Amino acid sequence: MARDEQLRQRWDELVGFLSNRFADGEELDLDGIIYLVGVQELGQLHRRFRKDDKVNLMHIAICRLLEPFGYYEFDYIDEEGWPHYKMLEQLPPLKAGEQSVLMKEAIVHYFLEKEVIL
């Protein structure tokens, strides 16, 4: 199976699983899934978040998702339990479609690592 086809298949499986689990079957988009990763990484699952917190959660998720690709490295957890990352390498300039593919690839990798999908 071609790499792109495998990514698409795994992405569709993951979106279906997460949408059923967290959005009552309404399909989650890329930003929604990134947000869920941020909440998971913070580990404060039953907390209500302010708008600023939501932006920070997405930042945490992006750092964590791109860590295996060598762009970020975990640095420390602050006194409020928020993880912090340091940038190791600047992301190359990517077109919108390329960014989307990179993030989908990173998300699929994350959930494979967590054994949510196979």
- Please give the pLDDT value at position 62: 97
Mean per-residue pLDDT for 17-33?
A: 92
pLDDT digits (tens, 9 = 90+) for 81-116: 999 999 999 998 989 889 999 999 999 999 999 888
- Burial of residue 14 (CB within 10 Å: 0-12, 13-18, 19+) is buried
43-66 pLDDT tens trace: 987 788 888 899 999 999 999 999
Specify the pLDDT at position 64: 98
φ/ψ (deg, to 5) at 72: -135, 160
Separation CA 67–CA 12 (nearest Å): 23
- Locus of tokens 């602050």: 78
